[in-house]
Amino acid sequence: MSANTALAEKYRNNFLKEIEEQVEMGDWVKMCMQCGVCSGSCPTNFQSAWEHPPQELFMMIRAGKREEVLTSSSMWNCTSCYNCIVRCPRKLPITHIMHGIAEYAHRIGLAPKMQATRFFSGLFWKNCTHTGRVNELKLSMGLYFKDGFASGIKEGMKMKDVAIGLVLAKRLNPFELFGGHKCKDQKGIQAMLKKAYEIERSRKAAKMAG
């Protein structure tokens, strides 16, 4: 049984409970009073980027629309501007809930595979935890080449002028490709993260069993 099927079975007919137990800050969702200030405050909403703004997602969660919420690209459009957080009259940590739902959808394999920000988000985390510090060149290259070599060259060419400008200003170092900045105690960082993932997984599993 896949992780998704197991979870769907366990929380059958209670998607809200699933979100509360499995999503970071998910227990806040029920506090939403549907005022819509978050939706009106979201910068991406002005460009009709959201399939579902936060307020709508919260109601969909309460209505048990599991598939629609978790496969949505909406959460991935969050720019982390925190406008929704500071304006919410009920003080819901909306930005974190959006990240939390996205992370959960990604964890159980329901997040849209081709969503560019989902891809970039995973890439960023891998990039920065690999050596302890971000390698900006590898990060950009990894993004451009996500759909293969040919399209990578094309994407890279689109960004050529931006990159040249940065190289000339000494703010992008082509040699980062062959190493770059890193932490000394990478072993310690890896061990520490491994432990953190273990603990987090066991806490989530305990909630599911409980």
Partner 1 sequence: MAKHEYAFYPGCSSQKGASASNYLTSVESMCKTLDVKLTEIPDWNCCGASIGYAEAGELPRHVMNARNFALSEKHMPGQEIVATCAACWLGARETRERLTHSDTLMADTREALKEAGLTINEMPNIRHMVEVLIEDLGFDEMKKHVVRPLEGVKIAGYVGCQTNRPFGVDGESFENPQYLDKMVEMVGAEPIPEYEQKVTCCGGALAFSEPEKAQAQIKDIVESAYDHGAEMIVTPCPLCQANVEIYQGQINKTYGTKFNIPVMYYSQLMVVAYGGSAKDAALNGQVIKARRLEEIAAKPVKR
114 binds partner 1 per the rule CB under 8 A: no
CB count in 10 Å sphere of residue 184: 9
Output b/e per residue, 16-46; b: 16+ Cβ within 10 A: bebbbbbbebbebbeebeeeebbbebbeebe
CB 51, CB 73: distance < 8 Å: yes
Shorter beta-carbon distance to partner 1: residue 12 or 194: 194
Taking the C-alpha atoms of residue 78 and residue 66, their distance in angstroms, rounded to an integer, is: 20
**3-state secondary structure at position 47:** helix
Binding-site member from 5, 71, 177, 188 for partner 1 (CB under 8 A): 188
Q: Is 89 exposed, middle or buried (0-12, 13-18, 19+ CB in 10 A)?
A: exposed
Shorter beta-carbon distance to partner 1: residue 10 or 131: 131
Shorter beta-carbon distance to partner 1: residue 71 or 125: 125
Binding-site member from 55, 72, 74, 121 for partner 1 (CB under 8 A): 121
Binding-site member from 12, 90, 126, 154 for partner 1 (CB under 8 A): 126
Binding-site member from 43, 67, 157, 177 for partner 1 (CB under 8 A): 43
User: x/- binding map, residues 67-96, to partner 1, per CB under 8 A?
Assistant: ----------x-xxxxx-xxx-----x-x-
User: x/- binding map, residues 47-66, to partner 1, per CB under 8 A?
Assistant: x-x-----------------
For the chain, how many residues are written?
Answer: 210
Name residue, tokens 């991935």.
Answer: 76
CB 81, CB 87: distance < 8 Å: no
Residues near partner 1 (CB under 8 A): 24, 43-44, 47, 49, 77, 79-83, 85-87, 93, 95, 99-100, 102-103, 106, 111, 116-122, 124-126, 128-129, 132-134, 136, 139-140, 143, 161-162, 165-166, 168-173, 175-176, 181, 183-185, 188-189, 191-197, 199-200, 203
